[in-house]
Structure 1
Amino acid sequence: MSNVERIYLKRRIINATTMVLSGLATIFGLFFLTWILWTTLSKGIDAIGLHLFTQMTPPPGEVSGGMLNALVGSFMMCMLAVLLAAPIGIAAGTYLAEYVNHHWLGDTIRFVNDILLSAPSIVLGLFVFTILVGPTGGFSGYAGAIALGFIVLPVVVRTTDEMIRLVPTQMREAALSLGIPQWKVNTQILYRAALPGILTGILLALARISGETAPLLFTALNNQYWNTDMAKPMASVPVVIFQFAMSPFEYWNKLAWAGALIVTLFVLFISIFARVVLARKNKYG
């Protein structure tokens, strides 16, 4: 066997081995993903019903109740978190892409943003607890929304930065050559071109915070009763799942599985919708 044939055979062996290992890793991951989804669906579907969206979380020992207060609390805190963090994130991403793109300051901000992006959510919750909950002496929905906003912020910054940098330079140069101010270039040209990508980042950030438990334990805590005053402790679906799943009450366990199924379906819907938006952007440019 010649040297060329040996090299060719070696490459084929390495390629086949890599393909087999990659396939096994994919099957391994998909198996457990399917197992988790099937378990959540099979256990959560039993407790799904109209009562889940019309009744409050039950006290210990009760065999009737729902998660209306937790669903409303999660919705209010997640929406406020997005409303607080998304404009700041879009502005910061625009600054990175348009003003300090090839500058050491931009690289430093991106580095810090990446650290915040990978920071454990419990650390962010503890930070908000230290600066807001502790000094004010009370848990609140506002504190929970701020903690979730710290999770949304780096995602939006990163997405906006990347999407705006993908806009062709010729569009900027054509607008500036006509005497259009930079702020109008940003708002009327760059944002329009990058809007689907920015929206995708916001939706993915919303999907991420919808299942966060640790930050809310330190900030919003929980509330068994109906409450729309965000200055007070507020219920949320992840915290209710956390508490009900560890309880000795069978009905609470069923509600925990139902809540897990709702969160899973919501994340799935948001992820699919975000991919559809991004796919339409790629298709039509």
Structure 2
Amino acid sequence: MNLYRRRKLVNRFNMTAAVATTLFGLFWLAWLLWTLIGHGIGYIDWSVFTQPTPPPGGSGGLSNAIVGSLIVTAVGTLIGAPIGILAGTYLAEYGRGHKIGALVRFFNDVLLSAPSIILGLFVYEIIVVSMGHFSALAGGIALSLIVIPLNVRITENMMALVPDTLREAAAALGIPRWKIITRIVYRAALSGIVTGIILGVARIAGETAPLLFTALNNNFFSTDLLQPIANLPIMIFQFALSPYEDWHHLAWVGAFLITFAILALNILVRLVLRPNK
């Protein structure tokens, strides 16, 4: 009886601690979202989406920064996601127990934990210095180095969860291995792989440090991948530090747009990929 009471007490303590820590985290998240809503939503109008960033004291919006962020994020995702998925496929299907696979995992873990500013400095030295100027392409490549290790890890884990019995059954029917991977394993792990891509987008959408060394910024509207380009993270950084009240408002609007765009994207993906009951 004493043992039962002790276990019950421990269980209650653990449940209470789990609920308390969850509420603690949700409290700060709710406070953050409420702060963004309070400071940002009141200054959103059509000019935010149709006019470029203004000079001090002038009127304007964030159209160039919004388009620039979409371009740089798209470039980083289009470069990083396929590489990460293919590397994760190799580790899950061919690299089990191999020394090369273990080496790839080690370097992937190092890249996954590398500070983003170091990746930006690396791309600056390799690409920006070689080209002689900043560019959106360099910014996208820097962001892709953040996406790659994340997608490698998630893809490998999701594909490893697919039972080997499915692979063995398909192989017994004479199906080639590449078809087993593309037609069976990928389909079974699709929701996890897509979630990994979305997490990669969420990870790089607000990155500032790599873009300071690569894409820099542009006060004018530009879609040229080989030229500096405006983007929301750097715009928020510059406007928040400025002494101008109207720029502070635009910084809050930019932070609101980034946060709630990623939140809406995650919710949409979860709804679309939710299994039918």
Same fold (TM over 0.5): yes
Q: Which residue of 2 aligns with 1:267?
A: 262
Q: Following the alignment from structure 2 to structure 1, what is the Cα–Cα distance between the partners of residues 8 and 165?
A: 45
Note if 1:23 corresponds to 2:19: yes
Q: Structure 1 pair 228/165, CA: closer, same or farther in 2 (3 Å)?
A: same
Q: Following the alignment from structure 1 to structure 2, what is the Cα–Cα distance between the partners of residues 29 and 198?
A: 26
Q: Which residue of 2 aligns with 1:115?
A: 110
Q: Which residue of 2 aligns with 1:168?
A: 163
Instruction: Please report the RMSD computed on the Cα atoms of aligned residues, expressed in angstroms.
Output: 1.8
2:49 to 36, 39, 53: 53
Q: Which residue of 2 aligns with 1:190?
A: 185
Deviation at 1:273, TM superposition (A): 2.6
Q: Following the alignment from structure 1 to structure 2, what is the Cα–Cα distance between the partners of residues 28 and 188?
A: 43
Q: Structure 1 pair 189/18, CA: closer, same or farther in 2 (3 Å)?
A: closer
Contact 1:208 1:267 in 2 (8 A): no
Matches within 5 A, 1:192-211: 192-211=187-206
Note if 1:37 corresponds to 2:37: no
Q: Following the alignment from structure 2 to structure 1, what is the Cα–Cα distance between the partners of residues 5 and 169?
A: 54
Note if 1:65 corresponds to 2:33: no
Deviation at 1:153, TM superposition (A): 0.7
Q: Following the alignment from structure 1 to structure 2, what is the Cα–Cα distance between the partners of residues 10 and 194?
A: 42
Matches within 5 A, 1:235-246: 235-246=230-241
Deviation at 1:218, TM superposition (A): 1.0
Matched residue of 1:228: which SS?
coil
Note if 1:127 corresponds to 2:122: yes
Contact 1:204 1:274 in 2 (8 A): no
1:228 to 218, 223, 234: 223
Contact 1:196 1:277 in 2 (8 A): no
Q: Structure 1 pair 254/103, CA: closer, same or farther in 2 (3 Å)?
A: same
Contact 1:78 1:209 in 2 (8 A): yes
Deviation at 1:30, TM superposition (A): 2.1
Q: Structure 1 pair 22/180, CA: closer, same or farther in 2 (3 Å)?
A: closer
Paired amino acid for 1:256: A
Deviation at 1:134, TM superposition (A): 2.2
Moved more, 223-232 or 196-205: 196-205
In percent, how many aligned pairs have the same letter? Answer: 54
Which digits, 9 at most, give the CA deviation of each residue in 1:89-126, with x for residues without a partner?
Answer: 11111111111122233233223212222222111111
5+ long unaligned stretches in structure 2: none
Provide TM-score, normalisation by structure 2.
0.93
Paired amino acid for 2:23: I
Which digits, 9 at most, give the CA deviation of each residue in 1:147-195, with x for residues without a partner?
Answer: 1101111111112111222222222222222322222222222222222
Paired amino acid for 1:215: P
Contact 1:138 1:232 in 2 (8 A): yes
Q: Which residue of 2 aligns with 1:251?
A: 246
Deviation at 1:8, TM superposition (A): 4.8
Contact 1:200 1:277 in 2 (8 A): no
Q: Following the alignment from structure 1 to structure 2, what is the Cα–Cα distance between the partners of residues 244 and 38?
A: 21
Paired amino acid for 1:212: E
Deviation at 1:259, TM superposition (A): 0.6
Deviation at 1:20, TM superposition (A): 3.7
5+ long unaligned stretches in structure 1: none
1:148 to 124, 143, 147: 143
Q: Which residue of 2 aligns with 1:75?
A: 70
